[in-house]
Amino acid sequence: MNSTYSKGVLSAALAYICWGLFPLYFRQVAGVSSLEVVLHRTVWSMVFVLGVLAVMRRWAWLSTTLRSPKVLGTFVLSALLLSCNWLVYVWAVQNHHVMDASLGYFINPLVNVLLGYLVLHERPRPVQWMALSLAALGVLWLTWTAGHLPWIALALAGSFGLYGLLRKTATLGALEGLALETMVLAPVAALWLGWLSWQGQSSFGTASTSTMTWLVLAGPLTAIPLLLFATGARRIPLATLGVLQYLSPSLQFCLGLWVFHEPLQPSRLIGFVFIWAALLVYSAEGLWVSRRPALQAA
């Protein structure tokens, strides 16, 4: 195994592990409302990312982007989807729905396949259709047993799937894209935080020093996994990246079950089993397709 591939796997794995451990972070700021956490995350992410860009002297993209209404419009929409995704996720963690959130990221790859079919007119392979069918059965089972749609999982998978679709067609890299998205959202977030402070409803300044420190750390904790992911994605095949991505929801599920002690009834577990079976089929088929040319050459 060459060093480039090893470094790529390590970087991508660390990124997914960081994302999988995010519930531990959001529990540290459980005393702050979900909305205020997202507002702070937006502002401090922008500060951190712009600082990284300043150190790297990577500003050439900005003037070109600002002259393109189409690119700006795309990133305004992606910024809104990202903020919605963040808000649902933080709310889910703070309200003891970590396993529901993990379900959203388990089904996200399958949502991507469905969006590719509906929006990009891609043609899923037969085994991918089978995986989608298994996932649909799992969602239907969870809906029937709970009496309502698993809206947290569907909202997270849908918002992140649409976000990924927009970023797939965007021209900016991961770091520059996050910088532009937070630059779009940060003025609104800063004004909102100012209004909360004026109304005496802001936790920043009145909370403990540790809570305020955790809120500021939202910037680097958001950007560093993204940088790790971008580094890894450039060095390893998409098939390897596709398998590694399940580290994140798996860690979230384990945290919800064993650290936060969320209930998992047998009937609900059946729905998760359907989803996991769908992912197993999807991943195995993806690995087979990616390796088939090498096997044929051999």
pLDDT given for residue 5 in this prediction: 84
pLDDT given for residue 4 in this prediction: 83
- Number of structural domains the chain divides into: 1
Distance of CA 51 to the CA centre of its chain: 23
Q: Is 298 part of any domain? A: no
CA distance 169 to 153: 25
What pLDDT digit, counting tens, does each position of 80-125 carry? 999 999 999 999 999 999 999 999 999 999 998 899 899 888 889 9
Q: Is 287 part of any domain? A: yes
Of the chain, the end-to-end C-alpha distance in Å amounts to 19
pLDDT given for residue 226 in this prediction: 87
Q: Which residues have C-beta within 8 Å of that of residue 7, sequence separation ≥ 6?
A: 231, 232, 235
Which of 257, 276, 201 lies closest to 39 in space, CA to CA? Answer: 201
What tokens does 172 get? 């900016």
What pLDDT digit, counting tens, does each position of 196-236 carry? 999 888 888 788 899 999 999 999 999 999 889 988 888 88
Q: Do 152 and 97 form a contact (C-beta atoms < 8 A)?
A: yes
CA distance 112 to 181: 21
pTM for the predicted model, two decimal places: 0.93
Can you give the residue range of the structural domain that contains 97?
Answer: 3-293
Residue tagged 């660390």 (tokens): 14
What pLDDT digit, counting tens, does each position of 256-276 carry? 999 999 999 999 999 999 999
The yes-or-no verdict on residue 297 having pLDDT over 70 is no
| Mean pLDDT score of the chain | 91
